[in-house]
Amino acid sequence: MPSIYQLKPAFQNLLRPLVQRLFDNGTTANQITVLAGVISVVVGVAIACFAQHLWVFVLIPVWMILRMALNAIDGMLAREFGQQSRLGAYLNELCDIVADCALILPFALIADVSVLIVLSVTLLALFSEYSGVLGPMVGASRRYDGPMGKSDRAFVLGVLATGIAIGWISALWINVVFGVVAVLLAYTLVNRVRQGLKEVQENVPSA
């Protein structure tokens, strides 16, 4: 399935000079990972505290762009500069799901937005990422299949938050968008399981 994740290589090429400078300055992949997670929580808490002032949601698209850059940077530091580690693998997955929760849940505090739908999207985001992480457990790769992967969620939430901040989107449309995202997340979960099983089957040598 198509996904914004497929644009990642081009994005990484733009960041490569910055990554080289960070490495030269002694910055590690794990430091970037934790930094992105901590800032996501800070942004989420700040939005939650001032959710009655809808303009504060403009922080989400701004941070989503920076977060995507940091996520790409930590991966490049790990892979291209020999900083891969078991601790880094744990931090990468855990910080991502913490950040997702912190940035999705504040939408539930907007007047007339369905708390149930926002919670459903939050849980389905966690489940879909978990289904991707389970790939190596069954002999497949870590699955990033769409149509609603991490990068896709960041894009949708960023556009939605921008519309909220400038007053273009009502609670009704927020509920509709979150409903569509929930459906796509459920499909993403199923797709990642299916593609993981397919990958394992294709790797099994024929008799």
Q: What is the pLDDT of residues 139-174, one digit of tens each?
A: 999 999 989 998 899 999 999 999 999 999 999 999
Asked if pLDDT for residue 189 goes beyond 70, the answer is yes
State the average pLDDT over residues 37-55: 96
Give a three-class secondary structure readout of 59-112: HHHHHHHHHHHHHHHHHHHHHHCCCCCHHHHHHHHHHHHHHHHHHHHHHHHCCC
Whether the model clears a pTM of 0.85, i.e. scores above it, the answer is yes
Write the pLDDT tens digit of every residue in 62-110.
999 899 889 889 988 998 899 999 999 999 999 999 999 999 999 999 9
pLDDT tier for residue 1 given thresholds of 50, 70 and 90: low
pLDDT at 127: 96
Residue-range definition of the domain harbouring residue 37: 4-203
Asked if pLDDT for residue 129 goes beyond 70, the answer is yes
- How far is the C-alpha of 201 from the C-alpha of 145, rounded, in Å? 17
Tell me the pLDDT of the chain averaged across its residues: 92
State the average pLDDT over residues 117-134: 96
Contact call for residues 84 and 27 (beta carbons, < 8 A): no
CA angle 63, 64, 69 (to 5 degrees): 95
Instruction: Quickly list H helices, the chain.
Output: 8-24, 29-49, 59-80, 86-104, 115-133, 150-165, 171-203
pLDDT tier for residue 15 given thresholds of 50, 70 and 90: confident
In sequence order, the 6+-apart residues with CB closer than 8 A to the CB of 118 are: 104, 105, 107, 108, 178
pLDDT at 5: 54
Asked if pLDDT for residue 199 goes beyond 90, the answer is yes
pLDDT tier for residue 207 given thresholds of 50, 70 and 90: very low
Asked if pLDDT for residue 8 goes beyond 70, the answer is no
Q: Which CATH number goes with the domain that contains 167?
A: 1.20.120.1760
Query: What is the number of domains present in the chain?
Result: 1
- How far is the C-alpha of 98 from the C-alpha of 40, rounded, in Å? 8
In sequence order, the 6+-apart residues with CB closer than 8 A to the CB of 67 are: 36, 39, 40, 99, 154
Contact call for residues 161 and 55 (beta carbons, < 8 A): no
